[in-house]
């Protein structure tokens, strides 16, 4: 259904819309989070690095256009040509006043061959005022907003210091859906104490909200985070690569086929990644997912 894949990949969707390869350029817009600036906490989420889940983005001290040029130079051997999505990745990229948001977003959209904007943020950093502004952007560029649910289990949410409830996620998606703004939800697999039922419940909460896209990745234990300290003192089981591959395929089967899959695995910076080390080999993980789906003769949405 989706060229060479048995799931509805972002690459497939963007090529269908734009007719060519679209490349994401990761940007640090210089924002922070309510769990870091003292509004709700000062330590951030338990798994977050100092870069706020944007370790491969540019640096906020560098002009946005310079960050984008640096990203293009890093990627030019793999993709010498294409158009770009400006991806505000680090921290919570709607956590500021409208004028500052406008300054950052509009600057990125001025860059040559930028055809869209992706904004990573938190559900509690989405308001009616922000959605009204995003609606104006949505009319002039290809826009999506990424929200980190991570888990629908609010007990786990409290443990990871998420700072918002799964109901807050639902409310943010409703606001964005009502404005016809594409929304992407993040899921983390293997959070402490969670079971397959928790993972399935998280996926089902998202798909019930008619979400546009989903990102799935394994929990990374990064050095110098509070999760790292916790893991050293209280080791908990982490999924093996084989277990992860089978679980992802199970979850793909319950995701409706119109939902765009933005990610099925991720990799932490090698110098920071403590466990699981197998996540450093993204190609092998993705190839194994493809093989497992083919072996099952199944595909995304098979049990949705």
The CATH number of residue 285's host domain is 3.20.20.70
What is the C-alpha separation between 274 and 282, in angstroms, rounded?
16
pLDDT value at position 267? 81
In a domain, 304, yes or no: no
Rounded CA Rg of the chain = 18
What is the C-alpha separation between 72 and 50, in angstroms, rounded?
24
In a domain, 303, yes or no: no
pLDDT value at position 27? 92
Owning domain of residue 186: 10-296
In a domain, 234, yes or no: yes
In a domain, 302, yes or no: no
Alpha helices per DSSP H over 23-91: 64-75
pLDDT value at position 60? 54
Residues of the chain with pLDDT under 70: 51-61
Over the stretch 44-95, which tens digit does the pLDDT of each residue have?
999 987 754 544 445 555 789 999 999 899 888 888 888 999 999 989 999 9
Q: CA of 276: how far to CAs of 49, 86, 120, 127, 238, in Å?
A: 16, 29, 24, 36, 7
In a domain, 76, yes or no: yes
pLDDT value at position 83? 94
Cβ-contact 236, 205 below 8 angstroms: no
pLDDT value at position 59? 54
Q: Which of 119, 125, 100 is nearest to 35 (CA)?
A: 125
**How many C-beta neighbours within 10 Å does residue 193 have?**
11
In a domain, 301, yes or no: no
Exposure string over 267-292, b if 16+ CB within 10 A, otherwise e? bbeeebbbbbebbeeeeebbebbbeb
Q: Six-digit token pair at 263?
A: 């990610």
In a domain, 5, yes or no: no
Q: Which of 188, 202, 96, 216 is nearest to 154 (CA)?
A: 202
Torsion of CA 117, 122, 123, 124, to 10 degrees: -130
pLDDT value at position 49? 77
Q: How many domains does the chain have?
A: 1
Q: Which of 233, 248, 239 is nearest to 220 (CA)?
A: 239
pLDDT value at position 61? 56
pLDDT value at position 52? 42
pLDDT value at position 106? 95
In a domain, 253, yes or no: yes
């Amino acid at each position: 259904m989706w060229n060479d894949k048995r799931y509805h990949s972002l690459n497939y969707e963007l090529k269908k819309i734009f007719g060519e390869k679209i490349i994401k350029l990761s940007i640090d817009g210089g924002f922070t989070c309510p769990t870091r600036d003292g509004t709700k906490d000062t330590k951030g989420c338990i798994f977050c690095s100092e870069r706020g889940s944007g370790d491969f983005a540019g640096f906020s001290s560098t002009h946005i256009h310079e960050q984008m040029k640096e990203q293009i130079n890093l990627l030019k051997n793999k993709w010498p040509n294409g158009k770009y999505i400006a991806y505000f990745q680090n921290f919570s990229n709607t956590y500021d006043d409208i004028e500052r948001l406008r300054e950052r977003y509009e600057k990125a959209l001025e860059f040559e061959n930028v055809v869209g904007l992706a904004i990573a943020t938190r559900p509690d950093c989405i308001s009616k005022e922000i959605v009204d502004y995003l609606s104006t952007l949505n009319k002039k560029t290809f826009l999506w907003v990424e929200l980190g649910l991570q888990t629908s289990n609010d007990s786990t949410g409290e443990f990871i210091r998420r700072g918002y409830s799964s109901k807050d996620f639902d409310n943010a998606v409703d606001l964005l859906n009502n404005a016809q703004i594409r929304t992407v939800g993040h899921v983390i697999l293997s959070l402490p104490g969670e079971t397959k039922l928790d993972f399935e419940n998280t996926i089902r909460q998202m798909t019930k909200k008619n979400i546009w896209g989903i990102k799935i990745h394994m929990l990374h234990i990064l050095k110098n985070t509070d999760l790292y300290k916790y893991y050293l003192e209280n080791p908990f089981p982490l999924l093996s690569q084989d277990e992860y591959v089978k679980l992802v395929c199970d979850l793909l089967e319950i995701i409706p086929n119109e939902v765009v899959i933005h990610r099925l695995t991720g990799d932490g910076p090698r110098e920071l990644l403590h466990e699981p080390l197998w996540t450093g080999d993204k190609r092998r993980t993705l190839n194994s997912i493809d093989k497992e789906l083919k072996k099952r003769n199944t595909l995304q949405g098979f049990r949705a």
